[in-house]
Structure 1
Amino acid sequence: MIRIDHPLPWNSPGTQRQLSVLQFGQGPRKAYIQAALHADELPGMRVAVALRQRLATLEAAGQLRGRIELVPVANPIGLVQVFQATHQGRFDFASGKNFNRDFPDLAALITPKLHSLLRDDAADNLALIRELMVAALHELPPAASPLEGLQRLLLGHACTADLVLDLHCDFESVLLLYALPQLWPRLSGLAAHLGAQAALLAEDSGGQSFDEACATPWLKLAAAFPDAAIPAACLATTIELGGMADTEAQRAEANAEAILAFLAEQDFIEGSWPNRPEHQCPATPFAGAQYAYAPHPGVVSYLRPLGARVAVGDPLFEVIDPLSGQHSIVRATTDGLLYARERLRFAQPGLWLAKVAGAMPIRSGRLLSD
């Protein structure tokens, strides 16, 4: 294992933050896995602990066929953001920005340079595009904040990878994946190994999140240069590893083994691994997800468990104002799977409380919530 430590810019005097990348194996093909970009989403970090141990063993046994980069702590900035004993790892205290939004648009950065350089050979174009992506990130003006510096470092490592896994979780959630629809046929095996219950697909969810910043440039470039051979060279996905409290060792180790089995399918690891389970979770459009809100303040009681199948009109939760006695029941507006719930039990303005994955699009525009 090789450890690379990148200092982040704009450290205050007497302090220093760094991003640490662990490299296992070697070879031309690369897989990149990061955890806890939202720093209070710790199940991914716990899975990374298990992956680090197993990858070290596999490397010592000579079973790695490619290079695997692991970032167990993808957000050292948010990791220390604790306010009154509550971890606040989703938004940067300094700017208010979501750590997983607005990554650089690599396609926009390199398109002007490609017009006279592309060839008919897909392998040549792949190598050229990756070289230009890395160079474009280095040529940007100096990072204006620790957050900007962090995002560029993460994307700089991931943009040269064939496979990118971004490990997250929701507040309370089943295990699910977010991905581009064009990549789902190649990612369905990962969902099967993980036992995912849902997959939400969108080509552009509206926030330039990390997995889309890695995968979408290849689609944009292929569309911009239809006569050139440009492959969809980055297989990227966000994995929601359940809820924020799902850090049990047995669960984390099982998820790590599932990821390793998929890496073996992708020819990154040698040896005998479990066959892909036959069960395939349904993939639905992210635009088909209902975000259910409360109509007024009050105490929330959920009326359906996570993972429940619901139909239009089924009750999801009730809200009761403890002073006025106002009582409301919020119901499903689509048939689908109840895949996530808010951890707080008091309704607030603009705060979603339940999410249902439906097969029919019911939303448009920006699909991601902040």
Structure 2
Amino acid sequence: MKTEIETIPGETPGIAYELIVHHLSGSDPAAPRVYIQSALHADERPGVAVMHYLIPMLEHAEAEGRLLGSLTLVPHANPIGAAQHLFSNHMGRFSGATRVNFNRDFPVPGKDGVRHLDNASSATFAERRLKSRLLELADGCPIVLDLHCDDEGVQYLYVPEILWPEMSDLAACLDAEAALLWDKGSDRAFEEAAFEQMRASAADGDLSGHCVTTVELRGQIDVDAQTGLKDAEGIYRFLQARGVVAGDAAAPDLRGGFVGKPIRHVDMIEAPAGGTILFHAKPGDRVEAGQLIAEIVVNPGFKDGCVEVRAPQGGFVLTRRARRFIRMGDNLFKIIGDEALVAGYEGALED
């Protein structure tokens, strides 16, 4: 494995960031190339734990000559966000310089099919140059995994609808519980931008064998040795099944009860009042229409001091808020409903 440390100059003198990039060389030029990154939202750590266990597995395969496809790995994809702390709180989701989500506004090909990237010396914010560089590193790789997590949630994937069900092998190898399928985007997240470049570069539009996804590795606090190792083994098994690593492993079947539906089925349940959350449903639960899923304590101790929140339709609880204090209008749950919403989502579900 070859490790490179790239420098991203900051916006003012004396400020710079280091981007650590690992390259592993495969022995078969025809085997798929792979790009994996984690911690693009710098306060999301499950992916880093996965990389901690996955990298030695891949190094071992490379040393033994079992690595067929080449890989590029970026364990800390956002050194800018990693440095953002305010009063001991880490703020790694939005850029402090531009207030833009670190996983939004990536460059995509225009109507002319040309994508314009910023280079290291471009006179623009460091986050813009970082985003361009991450896309460059992923270019030419038919397999692109962006490791994220939610507040509290099951493990699930965002998948371009055109690549489903072919990409169900990744969901099965990870033992994921759900997948959200999208057919158009509006936020230009990394996954969307990488996929648009794939589609623009694909010979005759053939996307067979391609895999690009945001992997949501459960919730913010699901960072431990057991789950990190389990997910690393799942990705390794997937790489074997796709012919990146030599081996006999084949993708298993999807887990029982797996939920894979278009993103238009997602009900974003917003808090009708501000206060303290008392949950009555958790990620992975099946709920029915009208079922009590949460109460919000507005006036503690009084008969009418709680505001009830009920499921708008039957469905699968995908995620819920991690913090137990909420403002009116904040997102409380994501539920994959049995029925698609009339005005369903197409791009980002959250800011």
> Same fold by TM-score, threshold 0.5 exceeded?
yes
In structure 2, how many angstroms separate the alpha carbons of the residues matched to 1:302 and 1:7?
A: 45
Quickly say closer, same or farther: Cα 1:294–1:109, change in 2 above 3 A: same
Alpha-carbon displacement from aligned partner over 1:98-135 (angstroms, at most 9, x marks no partner): 000011013x17626xxxxxxxxxxxxxxxxxxxx6xx
In structure 1, how many angstroms separate the alpha carbons of the residues matched to 2:284 and 2:66?
A: 37
- Which residue pairs with 2:94 in the alignment? 91
In structure 2, how many angstroms separate the alpha carbons of the residues matched to 1:203 and 1:275?
A: 25
Q: 2:205 aligns with which of 230, 249, 262?
A: 230
- Which residue pairs with 2:315 in the alignment? 336
In structure 1, how many angstroms separate the alpha carbons of the residues matched to 2:156 and 2:347?
A: 20
Offset, 1:203: 1.6
* Aligned residues: CA RMSD: 2.2
Identity %: 35
Offset, 1:4: 2.1
- Which residue pairs with 2:278 in the alignment? 301
In structure 2, how many angstroms separate the alpha carbons of the residues matched to 1:89 and 1:35?
A: 13
| Runs of 5+ consecutive residues of structure 2 not aligned to the other structure | none
In structure 2, how many angstroms separate the alpha carbons of the residues matched to 1:138 and 1:87?
A: 27
8 Å contact kept, 1:198–1:357:
no
In structure 2, how many angstroms separate the alpha carbons of the residues matched to 1:60 and 1:333?
A: 54
Offset, 1:193: 1.1
8 Å contact kept, 1:111–1:221:
no
8 Å contact kept, 2:25–2:69:
yes
Quickly say closer, same or farther: Cα 1:340–1:143, change in 2 above 3 A: farther
- Which residue pairs with 1:54 in the alignment? 57
Quickly say closer, same or farther: Cα 1:331–1:265, change in 2 above 3 A: same
- Which residue pairs with 2:132 in the alignment? 152
Residue 101 (str. 1) matches residue 76 (str. 2): no
8 Å contact kept, 1:205–1:368:
no
One-letter amino acid of the structure 1 residue matched with residue 283 of structure 2:
L
3-state SS in 2 of match to 1:137: coil
**Bigger helix fraction:** 1
Quickly say closer, same or farther: Cα 1:50–1:181, change in 2 above 3 A: same
8 Å contact kept, 1:300–1:317:
yes
Offset, 1:43: 0.3
Query: What TM-score do the two structures reach when normalised by structure 1?
Result: 0.86
Residue 347 (str. 1) matches residue 326 (str. 2): yes
Residue 356 (str. 1) matches residue 335 (str. 2): yes
Which 10-residue stretch deviates more, 316-325 or 32-41? 316-325
- Which residue pairs with 2:267 in the alignment? 290
One-letter amino acid of the structure 2 residue matched with residue 157 of structure 1:
L
In structure 2, how many angstroms separate the alpha carbons of the residues matched to 1:25 and 1:333?
A: 51
- Which residue pairs with 1:117 in the alignment? none
In structure 1, how many angstroms separate the alpha carbons of the residues matched to 2:120 and 2:76?
A: 24
In structure 2, how many angstroms separate the alpha carbons of the residues matched to 1:293 and 1:353?
A: 5
- Which residue pairs with 1:368 in the alignment? 349
Q: 1:271 aligns with which of 237, 242, 247?
A: 247
Quickly say closer, same or farther: Cα 1:139–1:152, change in 2 above 3 A: closer
- Which residue pairs with 1:15 in the alignment? 15
Alpha-carbon displacement from aligned partner over 1:127-177 (angstroms, at most 9, x marks no partner): xxxxxx6xx536899250110011001001112111000000001110000
Q: 1:191 aligns with which of 144, 154, 171?
A: 171
8 Å contact kept, 1:24–1:56:
yes
Q: 1:253 aligns with which of 229, 246, 251?
A: 229
Query: What TM-score do the two structures reach when normalised by structure 2?
Result: 0.91
Offset, 1:277: 3.5
3-state SS in 2 of match to 1:296: coil
